[in-house]
Amino acid sequence: MSATYSIRIDALTETFAAQADAMAVQLCLPRAGEADFALQLGEQGWQLQELAEQAAGPVRVDFVGGALAHRRQFGGGAGQMIAKAVGILGAIRPRILDATAGLGRDAFVLACLGCEVQMIERHPLVALLLRDGLARALQDAQTAAIAARMPLMEGDAIELMRHWQGEPPQVIYLDPMFPQREKSALVKKEMRLFKPLVGGDLDAAHLLEAAFELASHRVVVKRPRKAPTISAQAPSYQLLGKANRFDVYTKQSLKQQELTAP
């Protein structure tokens, strides 16, 4: 799965050994031996752990508790910059495709606001963590309806967009992972963990091209505030935050009558 980094499957208790064995077969990964990372299964579901000395704790997807629970309750509603970027205004809740879903956090925020958010994730380990988090969210009364608005497809987003079946999304959201050009001490744990495994989205310009062809109304690209745009095509406008910005490429205006009710 990675030419540079080795990964094994661990069961954190014997209770989960059979499930870990099955996943090892599915992903063609070993159940023992030296490795750089471990995909672990325990009481809290699947998680990815770096095995180096002084490594940070594991990464898992949790839509029920933790930071996302706080964001769901106190996140700022439709006044959030991401909500403005995708066109949430009044009762308008556009149909969104998050073509670079990652751990699903931005999709969850938009689904909390009532949007239907189809997700695409191409890396199998990231998709596994995301499916695991969604499954647990669907079992919780506080998050079940939100998770139900977040269907996940696994595969190459460019190919899926180019061969899209059915009604196109009104808004396509992109948050591509780019190779870092500047060193920073404030790299999040998830970035430190996934960067070696997933790498950069070197096809980000093609992602934007395919997204702009498919989206009926707009494409939104999330970028670090000072990062370059992902292609020579200039955005229609930008929304600037302290650390990030949203490049918005518009095709037509979202209107009330086009609302898809949550």
Q: Taking 60 as the threshold, does the pLDDT of residue 16 lie above it?
A: yes
Kindly give the interhelix angle for 17-27 and 124-138, rounded to the nearest 10 degrees: 140
**Comparing 115 with 66, which gets the higher pLDDT?**
115
Nearby residues of 188 by Cβ (< 8 Å), 6 or more positions away: none
Cα dihedral angle (252, 253, 255, 261), rounded to 10 degrees? 80
* Nearest to 115, CA basis, from 81, 138, 145: 145
pLDDT at residue 127 in the model: 95
Gyration radius of the chain's alpha carbons: 19
| 223 in a known ligand binding site | no
Angstrom distance (rounded) from CA 198 to CA 191: 10
| 175 in a known ligand binding site | yes
Indicate yes or no: pTM above 0.85: yes
| 72 in a known ligand binding site | no
| 122 in a known ligand binding site | yes
Confidence bin at 217 (pLDDT 50/70/90): very high
| 121 in a known ligand binding site | yes
Tens of pLDDT along 222-233?
999 999 999 888
**Main-chain phi, psi angles of 39, to 5 degrees:** -90, 115
| Mean predicted lDDT score pLDDT of the chain | 88
End-to-end C-alpha distance for the chain, whole angstroms? 38
Report all structural domains of the chain as residue ranges with CATH numbers, in order of start: 7-50 (no CATH), 66-258 (3.40.50.150)
Q: Taking 60 as the threshold, does the pLDDT of residue 257 lie above it?
A: no
Report the run of H or E that residue 108 belongs to, with start and end: helix 105-112
Angstrom distance (rounded) from CA 224 to CA 177: 10
Q: Quick one: how far is CA 250 from the chain centroid?
A: 22
Tens of pLDDT along 117-173?
999 999 999 999 999 999 999 999 999 999 999 999 999 999 999 999 999 999 999
Report the run of H or E that residue 124 belongs to, with start and end: helix 124-138
